[in-house]
Structure formats: structure tokens, C-alpha cells
Amino acid sequence: MKNNIYSPVNDETTAGAGCGAHSSCGTKPSGGCGAKPSSCSTPSGPSVIPNPKELHACMGLNACKGHDRLGTNDCAGMGECATAAMHSCHTLNDCRNQGGCGLYGTPEEQNNPGNNSCSWQGSCAVPINAERFSTEGPNRGKSVWKRARVVFEEKMLKANRQFGDPFMEGGPTMDYINKNFSGYAACGASGLSGGGTCS
Amino acid sequence: MLTPDKLNDLRDHLQTAVEVELSTIPLYLYTYYSINRTPTLTIKDENRANEINTFANKAGGILMSVAVEEMLHLSLASNILKALGGSPVIYDKSPKNYPTNLLHHKDGFSIGLTKLTQSQLQKFMDVEKPAPVEEDPQGDQWETLGQFYEYIANLVKQTEEWDYSNPDNQLVDGRGYYAPNNIDTVYAKDAAQSSSTVQYANSDDSGGLKQIKNKEDALAAITEISEQGEGFRTDPTHKYDDPSHEEESHWFKYSELNTKFFELELTDEEKKQFIFNFPENPGNPENPNNVELPIKYQPVVDLCDAVYSYLLWMTEMSFTLKGTAQSSMFYIGMHKGMIFILDKIIGGMRRATYKDEKGNEWNLAPTFKNFTFSSKETAKKELVALAELVILENKLKLETEYELSEDILQRIKDLPDVNVVGNKVSFA
């Protein structure tokens, strides 16, 4: 159900999937969250974005033009990378919608990647590498990024918003992330390891 | 109807059950952490290397799948105790030393902390051994956990509905507290094909957390504990513990690993390539084979013990809290503490090595000893101070092979404070 028109959406007043929500790392979490992280990890290199327009968990999950990590994407759903602070796993996310999902968490959490309601309630790392799969719930054994994209598309359609094709079909691979966005140290491709699965 | 004395007896046995479940967790975790689940093998025969890789990964997944269910059992026993007006004591209740007998187990049984070995897998089978159908329930001098829980179940059957006075403060389903599978419980059926052959060691229908509101709930929880351990009592194979026959019992899982370990006929060199050389029962001065720990590693071992003990304290405190306060303590505290603090500390420790006086090389291992904090008021500050000491040691470059990252220190600082005032949890 993708809308393949590349017409930028500039209406930042629509609530929808958070378009117009102007937040930065460390901002008090929305939704009445009381627990505020005391610090944020700071991605390095090209991934640094001093003032993201919208916080989202991965490639292709941005609600507006210019809302990806680099601020250069043409349309909703076409962003190249997350704006949420990169973090390595479960309960380490700063804010709402910043959890990546997969690997740890309940079936409900794992079925809602990038859609958590509060800080420290995300299920896994950001960004969501293409190789990551869910370990619980209806999406078990399937791609977390693809599930995140479905959740995103459902939210956009509900808000009557257009969106474009993702930058990479299937989401960013670990190899792609490591080459283009330094500072990422989350779960590996298969993650089938113990004692340091995630960093 | 239970007399007040009998009701107290039931509560005492539930506390014993909590401690028995607790004592198994370090056993399984110690062996789990001794395994490098994704080793880089130097074996030239690709098929042999893949066979060993697959076994290493499966052994880790199986051990963790059992360990998470032991944590579930601890919670279920605690829920029954809460429902009956008691409250579980968990902090400082880990066994003082290993090897140890399990609490109230028949004399003569002993189990300790060891790296992955065939004899340790056989010991794990003994712990999870199915109870024969004709075996009498035993509250003391029990030989199987099934026998012990049957004794508790018989007392529960004599309770009345009014005995279940406290449905609150329990760890219940629907709050994100428990998931049977995570990345540490799954494994590849074939390591060469990794994530395309993922196996899920636990199944949703073997049971999860339950709120205990009446006798029926309590009996269902006890059945869940027993069946996850030993399988269905009436099934002579004791293979499965769930209706869909997707999850194997603890005993059967260990039995399969034991068989595979035997069939592999691993050479010492092969074992070295995926099993960290953890000493037996570290930190027990009464152990005749105790390996002396270099003093430079004492701070990180203390930190590891302190984190482990703090996790137990957070769990205990969770059974005194309600609503969002309980979620802050358990959901955030325990998940962060187990996965992103304790796991990361041990994951780093085990790569550090040291030599004993005979020149044997060992890997740095956790001891899972009770760390006694000065007070509940100062516990978190003490924990942070221990972490800062390890960081300071790193900065002083005391030639330790272990380095604690600032990220982990920050996560420790972000843990909830066990010193709860009212029903409000502080993270400061």
C-alpha cells in the first residue's frame, strides 16, 4: 500500500505520526513519562544531528520531508536513517517512539517497533538493522524493520498522509549502517550469542 | 481448612521454594557464561567446525531458556506467598557458597558452579529429575522438585478462599515483565545458516506469570512450575511441558544436551575453543581447589556480585510496590540490570585471563555471591561507587585485561533506587 508519488508533504501541523513534533535528545519524554534519562548517547560522524525535527527509530519511518537523520529526504517514509538517539537495546531508549524492537521484550512490544509510548519502554536498539528478527509475538522469526514499516504505513494512512518508498527495501543492513553511520554498536546480524549479545 | 500453624508452614515452604529456585539461577548462568556461543574455531574440517558451532550456540540457548523459566518460577512462588499474606525475601538469599545442597533436599546432594562439562549437564538433569508417579510428596528431605512442590500443593488444597487476602503487589501478566523467548534463548539449528534456522527453546503455551487470587490459581501455578521442570508427570518420556508440544521440559533439554555432548567426543583442544576456562566454585575459600583471584580483579568481581545482589533486592522490592512504581522497579530496573549491566560486565570479564601459582590459565568468572550493602538507604550509592572504583582502576592502568565502559556506569546510575519511600520509585 505504498504511495509512490514523490510529492513532499510540508504540512507540519498534522499530528499523524509525529510530523512537526520538535524534540531533541533529553527532552522530557512525552505521554506523562516520569523517568527521564540522565544522559543521551551522542552518535558521531555523519550521524550527528543537532536538532532533529522528529524522533523516529529508523530508515523509512520518518513522517515528513527533511525529517531523517541527514535532513535531506524528499518525502515521508523516504528517510535514510533514524533521528532517535542511537542506543543499543531494550530499556535504553530516551523517548516515545524511539525503541527499535526485536530480540528482547514481550509479544506486544515486539509487534510495535518504533511505536513505544515512553522512555525506556522500547524493546530494542536503534537503528533497526535489516537482519534483526522478532523473537516473540505474531512477527516472531520475521524482520523487525519490515514490521516497523507496516506500523508506520498504517499510522500514515490513518492520518491521510502520503509517503514514498523506503531508501532501501528491507531496511538498512548492518554493513550499510556501519559504513555510513559510525558510532552504532547494537545487536549483530544474527544476534545468536550470549554474554554481550548487544553492547 | 488450614490451622494458623499450617498456614505458616505453607508460607515457610513457599519461601523455601523461592530460595530453591533462586539457587538454581547462578548454576545455570555460570555454565551459560562459560560458553562462547559464536566462537571463531581454528578447526579445518568445516563440517566438524559447524557441528561444534551449532552445539555451542544451542547449549547457550537451552541454558538461558531454562534460566529464564527459573526466574519465572521464583516469581510464581512469590506470587502465591504474597496472595497468602506473606512477602518473599530474596536479597541476601542466594547460597552463601557453592557447592551447595539445595534447600531441604535430601542430604548428600551437592552441586556447584562449573564451566560446561558433561558431568555438570548430568547434575542439571539431577536437579530437574522427574518425580516417579508413585513418589510421596516431601516438604523436607525431598529428592525431586516435583515431590517438593507436590507437598506444597497438598497444603494449598487445604486452604480456603479467604486465605487469599492479598491479590496486590504480585508480578502479573500484561505488564511486560516476562517473555519466554529473547535473543539469548534462541539458537540456530544449523550454525552455518544462522538466523534462517532459528529455533525457539520456549513456547508461549507452557505458561507465564499468573496473578494468584484463589486456590485454583495457586494450584495452576504450581503445576506450571513442576511441568516446565520435569514435563508431564504421566508421560514416561517427560519430553514436553506444553499442550502444543513445542517446548521441552528442563530435564529433557538437559538430557538432549548431555547426549549430544557425549556423541561429539570433543577433544580438549576443541573444548578450549568454545568453553571459557572458568574455575570451579570461585570465591569459596573452603573449596580445596580454590583458585586464588589476583587482587587487581577483586573490584570487578565485587561489582558483579553487587549488581547481582542489587537485582535480587529490586526483585524483592517489586513485590512491595504497585502500578507504575512496580513497573519502574521491575520492568525498567530488572531488564536494564540483567541484560545491559550484569550480562555486559560478565561478558567482558570472561575474556580477561589470569594464572594461578602452578601456571594454569583461567578466565575471569562471576562468583554470584551475596554482596551485603551497608543499608537500603545507601545501597545504590555503594553500587555506583563500586563501578567508579573499577573505572578508576582502568584509568590507573593497573594491567587488568578488564575495562568497564562509561556506558555501563551510566546504566548503573540509571537504575531505580531500592530505597523506596511510599509507592514512589526514585532514579536519582
User: Which residues in chain A are closer than 8 Å to B411, comparing Cβ atoms?
Assistant: 92
Enumerate residue ranges in chain A where pLDDT < 50.
Answer: 1-48, 185-199
Q: Give B-chain residues touching A102 at CB under 8 angstroms.
A: 183
- The pLDDT score that the predictor gives to residue A107 is 78
Burial of B135 (0-12, 13-18, 19+ CB in 10 A): middle
Contact flag B335-A88 (C-beta cutoff 8 Å): no
* Cβ contact B339–A198 (<8 Å): yes
Residue B350 distance to chain A (closest CA, Å): 9
pLDDT computed for residue A49 by the predictor: 52
B424 forms beta bridges with B421
Residues of B in contact with A105 (CB under 8 A): 176, 179, 182
**C-alpha B71 chain-centroid distance:** 6
A43–chain B Cβ distance below 8 A for any pair: no
Which set of grid coordinates corresponds to residue A164? Answer: 514514498
Asked if A80 is an interface residue toward chain B (Cβ–Cβ < 8 A), one would say: no
What letter would DSSP give residue A160? T
Q: What is the pLDDT of residue A7?
A: 29
Closest residue in A to B407 (Cα–Cα): A41
Which residues of chain A are within 8 Å of residue B332 when distances are taken between CB atoms? 35, 91, 120
Residue A131 with chain B: CB contacts under 8 Å: 195
pLDDT the model gives residue B422: 86
Using a CB-CB cut-off of 8 Å, the residues of chain B touching A141 are 198, 200
The phi and psi torsions of A3 (rounded to 5 degrees) equal: -95, 115
A13 vs B: CB within 8 A: no
Which chain B residues contact residue A198 at CB under 8 A?
A: 183, 339-340
Query: B-contacting residues of A 97-116, CB under 8 Å?
Result: 102-109
Query: Could you tell me whether strands B353-355 and B361-363 are parallel, antiparallel, or unpaired per DSSP bridges?
Result: antiparallel
So what's the pLDDT on residue A96? Answer: 53
Is A195 in CB contact (< 8 Å) with chain B?
A: yes
| Distance between A195 CA and the closest CA of chain B, angstroms | 4
Phi, psi of A89, rounded to the nearest 5 degrees: 180, -165
Nearest CB neighbour to B181, from listed A135, A192, A194? A135
For the complex shown, is ipTM > 0.85?
A: no
Other CB atoms within 10 A of residue B395 CB: 9
Q: What is the pLDDT of residue A121?
A: 55
Query: What pLDDT does B380 receive?
Result: 98
Give contacts of A 116-175 with B, CB under 8 A: 120-121, 131, 133, 135-136, 140-141
Distance from CA of A180 to the nearest CA of B (A): 23
> Taking CA atoms, what residue in B is nearest to A36?
B427
Residue A50 touches chain B, beta carbons under 8 Å: no
A133 and B57 in contact by Cβ < 8 A?
no
From A106, A187, A189, residue closest to B179, measured CB to CB: A106
Question: Of B27, B336, B81, which Cα lies nearest the Cα of A120?
Answer: B336
- Nearest-by-Cβ selection for A133 from B33, B57, B195: B195
Q: Which residue of B has its CA nearest to A199?
A: B344
**pLDDT averaged over 10-residue windows placed end to end, chain B, 428 residues:** 93 98 98 93 95 95 96 98 98 97 96 98 97 89 96 97 94 91 87 79 91 98 96 91 93 98 98 97 90 93 98 98 93 88 92 94 97 98 97 80 88 95 88
B33 and A38 within 8 Å at the Cβ level: the answer is no
Cβ contact A9:A19 at 8 Å = yes
The alpha carbon of residue B79 is apart from the nearest alpha carbon of chain A, in Å, by: 20
* Residues whose CB falls within 8 Å of the CB of residue A66, separated by 6 or more in sequence, listed in order: A53, A72, A73
Q: Are B343 and A197 an interchain contact pair (Cβ–Cβ within 8 Å)?
A: yes
**Confidence at residue B135, expressed as pLDDT on a 0 to 100 scale:** 85
In this structure, which long-range contacts are made by residues B326-331, counting pairs with CB atoms below 8 Å and at least 24 apart in sequence?
A: B326/B169, B326/B171, B326/B175, B327/B175, B327/B176, B328/A34, B328/A35, B328/B416, B328/B425, B328/B427, B329/B416, B329/B418, B329/B420, B329/B425, B330/B171, B330/B175, B330/B177, B331/A91, B331/A121, B331/B175, B331/B176, B331/B177
Closest-CA distance, B184 to chain A, in angstroms, reads 6
Which residue in B65, B182, B204 has the most chain A C-beta atoms within 10 A of its own C-beta, making it the best mutation to test that interface?
A: B182
- Please tell me which of the candidates B37, B176, B182 has its beta carbon nearest to residue A103: B182
